[in-house]
Amino acid sequence: MRVTIPAFWPAQLQKLGDTLKARQDTVRRMQWVMVVVYLSLLLIPVILPQVEHGRVLTSIGHFSEALFWGIWWPGVILSTMLMGQFWCGLFCPDGILNEFASNHGKGWKIPAWMRKPALPLAAFFLLTLYSHLIDAHRLAKGTLLVVGSMSLMALVTGLLYGRNKRIWCRYVCPASGLFSLLARCSALHFKVDRQAWDAATRPVPKPVDCPVLLDVRRLTSNEKCNMCGRCSGHRDAVKLSLRALGCELESLRVDEVRVWEALGIVFVLIGLTYGAMHWNGSIWNAQMQSAWTGWLGATPWAQAAAPWWVFGHIDSGAMSWQTGLATLAAILLAGILIGIALSALLLAAAWGHVKQACRLAYALIPLGGLGLFLGAQEHSMEILVREGWNVAGNLQWIRIVVLMVAVGWSLLIGWHFLARQSTPWLRQRLSFLLFSITTILMALAYQLAPNTLPY
């Protein structure tokens, strides 16, 4: 069932898209303001001495933490799921730094390893592990190391390989691997009318200056589109448009499914998110870390304290390498167990057909994305609690509301997947029942995760 869109909205959206194209000068100025603010929040807490007592926001470092991890990160996740990658195209400091550097770059040929489609998702996996290992969300130096290193690599990528394009955003950026999945859920996209494109009167305009090297003529997915607006109105065939949430996923064909991407959804978007953000504060996690630390401590290797940039911690400044490895092992084990369990359940729902199971994995993107949003939002609540706000008691209710939306959204997409299969009625219903059980079990795992907010 689809809701009819009033005529007012398409016209206004098209006007917005055309404005973005016409006012790229204003967009550029806004982006450089973002770069200045971003670098200030990244560098000042490390350079200036910080207040270590009193309320959280009396320290510029803690103020930066609140903006980076309390507002920016959950806000970008949710906005990407609902509206597409506007953050990437209009506001991201790394994107503008990469494009600026590419204007003066050497223009080297992009190496084959950089073009690997799974690279951004793999980089996101490693970056998430490392950021939790050094407690980057609470440590100014950790934030500088994790976030700042991405900006440095964006600059270097532009200087080496760029030719007035965002090579970093298209091929390497770790966040793009995540956003490419989440943006497929969004209600906004730049819709291309292929017939109007081909029927454009001559002289045809110059090719679209797409910063991420997309073939706009064949654009059918929000996967890599940065929503920058530079193609809006081209050949009277490209329009910023509304669509039903998740409809791109619902219409996904079996031949469009990528096995590596399905594995990324199951093991990274869901498994790693749960292991790093939700299960990380549980008693089972603590017991596992204790067991691993004890085992590693019994090895003949000498005890060692690692510098903050290897195993940093907000309280002690550094932790032993044994504790760091134990933390990694605990997060990885939780992610792997969740991923294996999900894979088995999806295979059961698909009656053993790997491609169909991978297709069903795409239906879990809303659940995984909103689970990631919950983890980021809980850190926002932690900041508020440390600031003196009594909000910790609302955590369970927020989880319930968000997870109900996530479960309903994923089940709707899964139902559309299964309803399009030419399979017997009973088998179709049994598949949906198994998929529903899978989705609800994962939501319960999120819901039953311990409340680790400080009271």
Per-residue pLDDT of the chain (455 residues; tens, 9 = 90+): 444 455 567 888 999 999 999 999 999 999 999 999 999 989 888 887 655 544 444 567 777 888 888 889 999 999 999 999 999 999 999 999 999 999 988 889 999 999 999 999 999 999 988 887 777 887 788 888 899 999 999 999 999 998 889 999 999 999 999 999 999 999 999 999 999 998 888 777 788 889 999 999 999 999 999 999 999 999 999 999 999 999 999 989 888 999 999 999 999 999 988 877 765 555 555 666 566 555 555 555 444 555 555 555 544 444 555 666 777 777 888 888 889 999 999 999 999 999 999 999 999 999 999 999 988 888 788 777 777 777 777 778 888 999 999 999 999 999 999 888 878 888 999 999 999 999 999 888 877 766 655 44
- Cross-strand pairs, 192: 238
CA diameter of the chain: 77
Dihedrals phi, psi of 2, to nearest 5 degrees: -125, 140
What is the rounded distance in angstroms from the CA atom of residue 311 to the CA atom of residue 386?
24
Closest CA to 339 of 273, 400, 414, 432: 273
User: Which neighbouring-strand residues pair with 238?
Assistant: 192
Three-state DSSP class for 240?
strand
